[in-house]
């Protein structure tokens, strides 16, 4: 217990460092640029304190619960030697966790409202969930075969680009965004641990090179599946340009903070149930395979159970803290900035909010910690997160620019993929899977609500923009550019290492 308390206090210190960028960005914009004192200052401060606690307890739960469980399952499947059951487990983990993913539900519901029901929210979610199940199974199969990940990813990008030319423009932005919201805060650590555990259990596999990459597959395949869904569902119907008044409900100033809220105790219970509900599909799949297929009890059951309890408490506190202060404030600021008409401020806000929220993203923290552990310190977890955050910041700022000028999203995405493919050739092999995974972990609990509100708010308030065609896509930008910056980090690290080595001669 003393060891856990010591680790918790260390995590509190690190969480404070991670939240500082968000506090600085919001303070500068609120007090010096918008020159307004928020009405809910106390709520914001209290919310940030709760987020701080939530982040620390969440990471503690990962360390003692989810990471060991994922690696244990992978080792057991490797020993069992049944390809069928391993691939089925991978598919069900991907499908079951994605179908109930809150960020995906939010995007699907917005797409349904804006398209006046032409895009069915449930079928959109089902399509994405099937694609993620397929992706995780394919990623596991790749680890078993030992194939280099970049050939799969590059082939996938080529398919995405080709389908884009045939897909209705109304579905393209949604499809690209779907790739960025499929991997939840709980799924990412488990899937990462599964991949690394599997690569560690198979002779001839390198956990650093082969173990990462499952999240990249889960971010890529939804872009393909959703565009195919759009071709089938929308067909030749491209008459969705007229946007109904209901779209205004999605603009930042309208995003659901009702004055008639339920009693705070009732709200706490419902929020806690929602967090537990997200974990139930994962636990159901794990228990089924652990006890009925592997036929062994879960090792260190009490410690792993405690880890899951910490994850639930931490994630719940984290979400409550965001809802208390940061989300209402961020959405209000997004509206205020669009109303100023100063687009440079919007780009700057998009850049800084992208950087600051990514630094505090729990899913990214989990992957960075695992990358540091597997690389035996060769990859610095903090620097990795900084480079990912810079990529997200550039992506969101450029995405805001695209909405303002009204350019088609696919030209930007195609250009980005070309850069990724070129950099893949020059980047060190160990960084490539992590770079691909970085694109899938940047847009979940913290970033999606703020980024989605900013994109739709911009498209709703700029004359001549269609929220369905122009409002979506910011999440896709936030998923694409971290791949470029992380491979840049790998290239730079190798270059500096060579200079250091030559200097010692």
User: Which residues touch 217 (CB under 8 Å, ≥6 apart)?
Assistant: 135, 136, 138, 139, 142, 152, 153, 156
pTM score of the predicted model: 0.73
Tokens 């980047």, residue located = 427
d(CA 56, CA 58): 5
Residue 244 has pLDDT above 50, yes or no: no
pLDDT at 488: 92
Q: Given pLDDT bands bounded at 50, 70 and 90, which one contains residue 387? A: very high
d(CA 435, CA 492): 14
Phi–psi pair at 95, nearest 5 degrees: -70, -50
pLDDT at 245: 39
DSSP letter string, 333-370: HHHHHHHH--HHHHHHHHHHHHHHHHHT-HHHHHHHHH
Question: Which tens digit of pLDDT belongs to each residue from 487-502?
Answer: 999 898 888 777 777 7
Residue 248 has pLDDT above 60, yes or no: no
d(CA 291, CA 145): 27
Q: Residue range 76-98: average pLDDT?
A: 84
d(CA 391, CA 426): 18
Q: Given pLDDT bands bounded at 50, 70 and 90, which one contains residue 419? A: very high
d(CA 69, CA 71): 6
Q: Is residue 54 part of a domain?
A: yes
Query: Average per-residue pLDDT in the chain?
Result: 79
Q: Given pLDDT bands bounded at 50, 70 and 90, which one contains residue 262? A: low
Sign of CA dihedral 438, 363, 28, 345: positive
Q: How buried is residue 159: exposed, middle or buried, by Cβ count under 10 Å (0-12/13-18/19+)?
A: middle
36-59 burial by CB neighbour count: b if 16+ within 10 A, else e? eebeeeebbeebbebbbbbbbbbb
User: For residue 476, what are the domain limits?
Assistant: 2-238+262-504
- What's CA 334's distance to the chain center, in Å? 21
Residue 388 has pLDDT above 90, yes or no: yes
Q: How many domains does the chain have?
A: 1
Q: Which of 132, 44, 180 is nearest to 475 (CA)?
A: 180
Q: Given pLDDT bands bounded at 50, 70 and 90, which one contains residue 179? A: confident
d(CA 404, CA 454): 12
Q: Is residue 169 part of a domain?
A: yes
Contact 61, 310 (CB under 8 A): yes
Tokens of 271: 């929020």
- What's CA 7's distance to the chain center, in Å? 26
Q: Is residue 94 part of a domain?
A: yes
d(CA 366, CA 289): 24
d(CA 197, CA 301): 18
Q: Which of 310, 238, 252 is nearest to 69 (CA)?
A: 310
Residue 391 has pLDDT above 60, yes or no: yes
The crossing angle, in degrees rounded to 10, of helices 381-405 and 409-426 is: 150
3-state DSSP assignment of residue 34: coil
Phi–psi pair at 152, nearest 5 degrees: -65, -45
pLDDT at 247: 38
Residue 420 has pLDDT above 80, yes or no: yes
Tokens of 403: 């909405």
d(CA 195, CA 213): 8
DSSP letter string, 146-205: T--HHHHHHHHHHHHHHHHTTS-HHHHHHHHHHTTSSS-TTHHHHHHHHHHHHHHHSTT-
Residue 225 has pLDDT above 70, yes or no: yes
3-state DSSP assignment of residue 88: helix
Q: Residue range 426-436: average pLDDT?
A: 89
Q: Residue range 306-310: average pLDDT?
A: 86
Contact 322, 51 (CB under 8 A): yes
Please state which of the ranges 39-53, 137-151, 156-170, 320-334 shows the lowest mean pLDDT.
320-334
d(CA 279, CA 177): 23
Q: Is residue 247 part of a domain?
A: no
Q: Is residue 243 part of a domain?
A: no
Please state which of the ranges 196-205, 314-323, 325-334, 370-379 shows the lowest mean pLDDT.
325-334
Contact 112, 69 (CB under 8 A): no
Q: Is residue 174 part of a domain?
A: yes
Q: Which of 339-348, 387-396, 429-438, 452-461 reaches the highest mean pLDDT?
A: 387-396
Residue 484's Cβ-side half-sphere holds a number of Cα atoms within 13 Å equal to: 19
- What's CA 255's distance to the chain center, in Å? 21
Residue 414 has pLDDT above 70, yes or no: yes
Residue 219 has pLDDT above 70, yes or no: yes
DSSP letter string, 252-294: GGGSS--SSPPPHHHHHHHHHHHHHHHHHHHHHHHHHIIIIIS
d(CA 137, CA 214): 9
Q: What share of the chain is helix, strand, coil (3-state, %, to 5)?
A: 80, 0, 20
Tokens of 454: 């900013």
Q: Is residue 68 part of a domain?
A: yes
**Any long-range contacts for 422-428 (C-beta under 8 Å, 24+ apart)?**
423/483, 423/484, 423/487, 423/488, 423/491, 424/150, 424/153, 424/154, 424/487, 426/487, 426/491, 427/487, 427/490, 427/491, 428/490, 428/491, 428/493, 428/494
Q: Given pLDDT bands bounded at 50, 70 and 90, which one contains residue 256? A: very low
Q: Residue range 437-454: average pLDDT?
A: 70
d(CA 149, CA 431): 11
Q: Is residue 20 part of a domain?
A: yes
């Amino acid at each position: 217990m003393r060891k856990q308390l010591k680790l918790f206090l260390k995590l509190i210190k690190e969480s404070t460092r991670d939240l500082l960028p968000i506090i600085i960005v919001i303070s500068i914009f609120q007090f010096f640029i918008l020159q307004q004192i928020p009405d809910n200052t106390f709520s914001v401060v209290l919310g940030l304190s709760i987020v701080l606690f939530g982040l620390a307890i969440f990471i503690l739960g990962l360390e003692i619960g989810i990471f060991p469980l994922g690696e244990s399952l992978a080792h057991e499947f490797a020993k069992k030697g049944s390809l069928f059951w391993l691939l089925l487990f991978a598919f069900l983990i991907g499908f079951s966790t994605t179908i109930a993913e809150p960020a995906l539900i939010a995007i699907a519901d917005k797409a349904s409202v804006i398209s006046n029901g032409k895009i069915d929210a449930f079928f959109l979610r089902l399509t994405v969930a099937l694609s993620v199940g397929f992706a995780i199974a394919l990623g596991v199969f790749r680890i078993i075969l030992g194939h280099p990940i970049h050939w799969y990813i590059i082939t996938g990008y080529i398919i995405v680009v080709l389908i884009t030319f045939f897909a209705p423009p109304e579905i393209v932005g949604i499809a690209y965004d779907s790739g960025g919201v499929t991997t939840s805060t709980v799924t990412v650590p488990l899937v990462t641990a599964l991949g690394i555990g599997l690569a560690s259990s198979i002779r001839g596999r390198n956990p650093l090179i082969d173990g990462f990459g499952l999240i990249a597959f889960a971010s890529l395949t939804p872009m393909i599946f959703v565009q195919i869904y759009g071709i089938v569902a929308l067909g030749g119907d491209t008459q969705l340009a007229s946007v109904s008044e209901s779209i205004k409900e999605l603009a930042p100033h309208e995003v659901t903070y009702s004055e008639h809220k339920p009693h705070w105790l009732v709200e706490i219970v419902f929020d806690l149930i929602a967090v537990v509900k997200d974990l139930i599909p994962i636990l159901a799949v794990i228990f089924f395979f652990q006890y009925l297929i592997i036929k062994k009890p879960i090792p260190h059951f009490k410690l792993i159970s405690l880890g899951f309890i910490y994850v639930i408490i931490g994630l719940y506190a984290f979400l409550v803290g965001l809802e208390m202060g940061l989300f209402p404030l961020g959405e209000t600021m997004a509206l205020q900035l669009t109303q100023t008409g100063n687009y440079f401020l919007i780009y700057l806000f998009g850049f800084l909010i992208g950087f600051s929220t990514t630094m505090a993203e729990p899913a990214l923290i989990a992957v960075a910690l695992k990358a540091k552990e597997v690389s035996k310190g060769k990859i610095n977890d903090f620097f990795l997160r900084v480079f990912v955050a810079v990529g997200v910041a550039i992506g969101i700022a450029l995405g805001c620019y695209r909405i303002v000028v009204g350019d088609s999203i696919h030209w930007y995405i195609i250009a980005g993929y070309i850069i990724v493919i070129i950099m893949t050739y020059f980047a060190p092999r160990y960084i490539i899977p992590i770079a691909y995974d970085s694109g899938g972990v940047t847009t979940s609990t913290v970033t999606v609500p703020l980024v989605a509100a900013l994109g739709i708010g911009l498209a709703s308030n700029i004359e001549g923009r269609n929220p369905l065609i122009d409002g979506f896509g910011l999440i896709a930008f936030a998923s694409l550019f971290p791949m470029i910056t992380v491979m840049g980090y790998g290239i730079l690290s190798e270059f500096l290492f060579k200079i250091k080595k030559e200097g010692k001669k």
